[in-house]
């Protein structure tokens, strides 16, 4: 009985081998490394914004990061800033003119603690160069 099992096992291994089931496929190590190290544009933009805020002394461990897809949240914020500017004697939007005509991505940082007022930071990163164009924070 044991001999029959061994013979069946050997026959099965030979069939698998002949059918190609045991072929070893060589994968290029360089290509795998490149695939593992590839980052999305979103990740690179967030990293650029993170590095910038860290250089300004902002502690990111206490912040939530929001990648503002399509800058939709920023557009609403900008409208609010325009309303505030018209209510005051200073036009806050003039400082934001640096964004006009630029292809940028907004990244928003807000306090993780929901009871904290203020502490929001907006970072604007050029989508092509991944450089920070402008940033501002709220107290």
Write the Ramachandran bin of 20: left for phi over 0, alpha for psi from -120 to 50, otherwise beta. Answer: left
Is pLDDT above 60 for 118? yes
Percent of the chain with pLDDT over 90: 50
Domain boundaries, the chain: 35-137
Nearest alpha-carbon partner for 77 in 38, 121, 37, 113:
121
pLDDT (tens digit per residue) in 98-114: 999 999 999 999 999 98
Task: Please indicate whether residue 16 or residue 123 has the higher confidence score (pLDDT).
Answer: 123
Is a pLDDT exceeding 60 seen at residue 23? no
Rg (the chain; Cα; Å): 28
What is the average pLDDT value for the chain, to the nearest integer? 79
Residues 6+ apart with CB under 8 A from 101: none
Is the pLDDT at 119 greater than 70? The verdict is: yes
């Amino acid at each position: 009985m044991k001999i029959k099992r061994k013979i069946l096992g050997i026959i099965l291994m030979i069939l698998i081998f002949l059918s190609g089931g045991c072929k070893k496929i060589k994968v290029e190590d360089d290509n795998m490394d490149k695939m593992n190290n590839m980052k999305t544009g979103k990740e690179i933009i967030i990293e650029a914004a993170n590095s910038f805020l860290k250089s300004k002394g902002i502690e990111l461990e206490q912040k939530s990061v929001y990648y503002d897809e399509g800058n939709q949240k920023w557009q609403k914020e900008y409208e609010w800033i325009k309303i505030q500017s018209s209510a005051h004697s200073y036009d806050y939007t003039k400082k934001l003119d640096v964004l006009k005509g630029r292809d940028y991505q907004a990244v928003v940082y807000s306090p993780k603690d929901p009871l904290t007022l203020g502490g929001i930071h907006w970072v604007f990163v050029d989508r092509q160069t991944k450089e920070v164009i402008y940033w501002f924070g709220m107290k």
